[in-house]
Amino acid sequence: MQIIDGKAAAALLRAEVAAAVAARVAGGRRAPALAVVLVGDDPASGVYVRNKVKACAETGIRSIEHRLGAGVAEAELLALVEALNADADVDGILVQLPLPPQCDATRVIEAIDPAKDVDGFHPVNAGRLALGLPGFVPCTPAGCLRLLKGVHADLAGAEALVIGRSTIVGRPMAALLVGESATVTIAHSRSRDLPALVGRADIVVAAVGRPELVRGSWLKPGATVIDVGINRVTGPDGSARLVGDVAFVEAVEVAGAVTPVPGGVGPMTIACLMENTLRAAG
């Protein structure tokens, strides 16, 4: 049984990015620059943005933070995106989701120049991924694939189950696995008999947002489990803790390899954002 160390894998990827950034700068080019737009004061978003800014500092990427009030008009946010698109000193643009209700996330994402869309959420990049063409891949599934490749040299022919069909995790994850020639099933809230689907999978990627939905007894012995879920739960003693979408303690008894929560997919997501920003800088 292997507990997949996402923290260590992420540190390695950040070190690779840092070395490439340092080489660029030594060659007389400017450091890559990432503009991070945070709207409102959602506490979870605040934590994510802080972690992204910290990773930029560690890799030598310049981060430019734009904070807008929760009541900002959509037109003002779109104008900021336009200005960042036009700014030659900005390589990557990230608008932290969720946005307040008056700002339409689809419209805002579509306003981002696809060449600066380091989150990979723009329809052009989503379309390129669906077509198997190079483009920016969303950071969470990209990180999951890296972790999977650390366990499986070759994913061809593997039975892979992706639980969740969101545009930021489930769908792009499935597209990446198809690209690796896995046999891919996507399960979602309307799927019938999730335990049976899990039971035949060599690879399970859970991106649901339901604490410990996937039980250890459902897993095929030896399966590789990537747990994307981040769920805050309150224990019997009233203390808060984070759990994934997979019952970790049960899964380690059956799986061949499993990611912990926290310390699995989360750190890889941010490291992949750094990698995408480096690529955006060209």
- Write the burial class of residue 226 (CB in 10 Å: 0-12 exposed, 13-18 middle, 19+ buried): buried
Nearer to ligand NAD, 199 or 209 (CB): 209
Kindly tell me which of 13 and 163 has the beta carbon lying closer to ligand NAD: 163
Among 231, 250, 256, 279, binds ligand NAD (CB under 6 A): 231
The nearest distance, CB 189 to ligand NAD, in angstroms, is 4
**Furthest C-alpha separation in the chain:** 58
Cα–Cα distances in Å, from 156 out to 34, 167, 168, 184, 256? Answer: 35, 24, 23, 11, 18
Whichever of 201 and 228 has its CB closer to ligand NAD, that residue is: 228
Q: Please state whether 202 falls in left (phi above 0), alpha (psi between -120 and 50) or beta.
A: alpha
Residue 139's closest CA among 164, 165, 166, 121? 121
Residues 6 or more apart from 157 whose CB is under 8 A from it?
181, 182, 183
* Distance set, CA 110 to CA 29, 84, 235 (Å): 29, 14, 41
Q: Say whether residue 90 binds ligand NAD (CB under 6 A).
A: no
Among 125, 269, 276, 277, binds ligand NAD (CB under 6 A): 269
- Closest contact distance (angstroms) between CB of 231 and ligand NAD is 6
Which residue of this chain has its Cβ atom nearest to ligand NAD in the complex?
Answer: 166
Q: Counting contacts by CB under 6 A, is residue 272 touching ligand NAD?
A: no
Q: Quickly list DSSP for 202-241.
A: SEEEE----TT-B-GGGSPTT-EEEE---EEEE-TTS-EE
Q: Per CB under 6 A, which region of 20-28, 78-86, 158-166, 273-281 contacts ligand NAD?
A: 158-166
DSSP-derived 3-state class of residue 166: coil
Q: By CB under 6 A, what part of segment 166-225 binds ligand NAD? A: 166, 168-170, 187-189, 191, 194, 207-210, 213
Q: Report 110-149 residues binding ligand NAD (CB under 6 A).
A: 140
Q: Which residues are catalytic?
A: 52, 96, 119
Work out how close the CB of 57 gets to ligand NAD at its nearest, in angstroms, rounded to a whole number.
19
Binding interface with ligand NAD (CB under 6 A): 140, 163-166, 168-170, 187-189, 191, 194, 207-210, 213, 228-231, 265-266, 269
